[in-house]
Chains A and B, each alone.
Chain A
Amino acid sequence: MLNGNTDKIWELLNTVPDPEIPVISVVELGVIRNIEFINDSYLISITPTYSGCPAVKTFQDDIKTCLTNNGVDNFELKLIYSPAWTTDWMTEKTKEKLLKYGISPPSKTVICPQCKSTSTTTISDFGSTACKSFHSCNDCLEPFEHFKCI
């Protein structure tokens, strides 16, 4: 199926949501590093966000399901560690989606997603997942999470 059309695979994977932040896709998250067509098979290189990220297994399964449901069965997933994942790979558009969803996107200045204030207090360097820290807004007083820069 789709022999050699890697663009189509990128397009399909762009419909697979991040298991923990469903408003962005695994492509937007930046964990899909490369798609090649070798020996009649797609080799998809994936990198974990954090070494121990429990979502890695889930998004691997979700990718498999998505491709299989779209009639693609000639593929292989490969986990790579280098270059290490960085929040720099997120586009401005992706960051906007995060902010709208209620997560302060990765940036030097932490922004309250509720009232957009930049006057905030760090509660903890670790939020509900290792990739996020926990803050509260000094203006509207709402607690919120921030995607840490790594």
Chain B
Amino acid sequence: MSLLDYTLRIADSSLISAQRLSEWCSKGPTLEEDIAISNISLDLFGQANGFLEYVSELDGNKTVDDFAFKRNEREFFNFKITEQPNGHFGDTIVKLFLTSAFNFLFYTKLSGSKNEKLSALAAKSLKEVKYHLKHSRSWMVRLGDGTEESNKKIQESLNSLWQFTGEFFEMDKVDTEISKSGLGVNNLSIKEDWNKIINTTLSESKLIRPKDGYMQTGSKRGIHTEHLGHLLSEMQYLPRAYPDAKW
């Protein structure tokens, strides 16, 4: 079931990004930013729900909640960058910027999918992701081109998160099959545009693009960093402790 695997990966990256960003709720550096990040998190939860509804339909057996709450780390396929801890505000902004730039280009392409469900979900997500990119990009510039300290901090965030960007452009059997049949995206085809967004923003932010060195990999096979398990233990606690609990 390549289509199911493919859709599940998209859903998982949205879901884990959403859960991670939601940790900022009530802890934002300013009230406006608290609200902004919480709203971005909410968009991503909504997107995850849409893709998971389709996964559940393709599966024919498990529900959306089963997929969200009854899988373990090794059964999740989100990009590793999405599960990384929030760190300080600059770390979160870099993570959000790097992933939103990818999501923006990915959904632009996916909205042309031959699969009606995927193209509809992508077109919907794209409208929201545009604002995520705009928002995180403006913070990249404010922090990068801010004070000496904010520049130093966000450069360090960028340097340490860069190793997670290689995964965006990996293509395995599932991706190749789905993109060849016109249902999905050839991620290599968006790399140039991603580089453009990143390079333009970094130069405007007075930040230095890190060199490509060791790149993290494995999430397509369910291999994750230690952080995902901790995130899941919190996200899944209630449905696991009280199975079939209803609001």
Tell me whether A51 and B49 are in contact in the complex, defined as CB-CB below 8 angstroms, given that A81-B120, A82-B116, A130-B43 are known contacts.
Answer: yes
A134 CA to B32 CA in the complex, in Å? 8
**Does B153 count as interface, using CB distance less than 8 angstroms?**
no
Task: Verify if A50 is at the interface (C-beta below 8 Å from B).
Answer: yes
Beta-carbon contact of A126 and B46 below 8 Å: no
| A129-B40 Cα distance, complex, nearest whole Å | 10
Q: By the criterion CB–CB under 8 Å, are A50 and B128 in contact? A: yes
Chain A: how many interface residues by the 8 Å CB criterion?
23
CA distance A54 to B38 in the complex (A): 12
A53 to B43, CA, bound (A): 7
Residue of A nearest to B40 (CB): A126
The dominant DSSP class at the B interface is helix
Residue of A nearest to B50 (CB): A51
A51 touches B39 (CB 8 A): no
Does A127 count as interface, using CB distance less than 8 angstroms?
A: yes
Which chain B residues numbered 16 to 43 have a C-beta less than 8 Å away from chain A?
A: 18, 32-33, 35-36, 39-43
Are B44 and A52 neighbours in the complex by a CB distance under 8 Å? yes
Q: Is the interface of A mostly helix, strand, loop or mixed?
A: loop
B39/A130 in contact, CB under 8 A: yes
A125, CB-defined interface residue at 8 Å: yes
Residues from chain A with a CB closer than 8 A to the CB of B42 are 50, 52-54, 130
Cβ of A39 within 8 Å of any chain B Cβ, yes or no, is no
Do A84 and B123 form a contact, CB below 8 Å, given A51-B43, A148-B131?
yes
Shortest CB distance B227–A (Å): 23
Complex contact B121–A81 (CB within 8 A): yes
Interchain CA distance A81-B18 in the complex, whole Å: 20
Tally of A-B Cβ pairs under 8 angstroms? 75
- Could you tell me the distance in whole angstroms from the C-beta of B7 to the nearest C-beta in chain A? 14
Give the residue name and chain of the A residue nearest to B47 (CB): A51
Query: CA A4 – CA B124 in complex, angstroms?
Result: 32
Chain A 69-110 residues near chain B, CB threshold 8 A: 81-86
Q: Which residue of A lies closest to B124 (CB)?
A: A84
Smallest Cβ-Cβ distance to A130: which chain B residue: B39
When A51-B46, A53-B46 are in contact, do A84 and B127 touch as well, CB less than 8 Å?
A: yes
- A127 contact from B35, B47, B50, Cβ within 8 A: B35
Taking CB as reference atom, which chain B residue is nearest A52?
A: B46
Asked if residues B45 and A126 are in contact (CB atoms below 8 Å), the reply is no
Instruction: Report whether B135 and A126 are in contact in the complex, using a CB–CB cutoff of 8 Å.
Output: yes
- Whether the Cβ atoms of B35 and A124 lie closer than 8 Å is yes
Which residues of chain B are near A82, meaning CB under 8 Å? Answer: 116, 119-120, 123-124
User: What residue in chain B is nearest A57 (Cβ atoms)?
Assistant: B247
Binding site for A on B (CB under 8 A): 18, 32-33, 35-36, 39-47, 49-50, 116-117, 119-121, 123-125, 127-128, 131, 134-135, 138
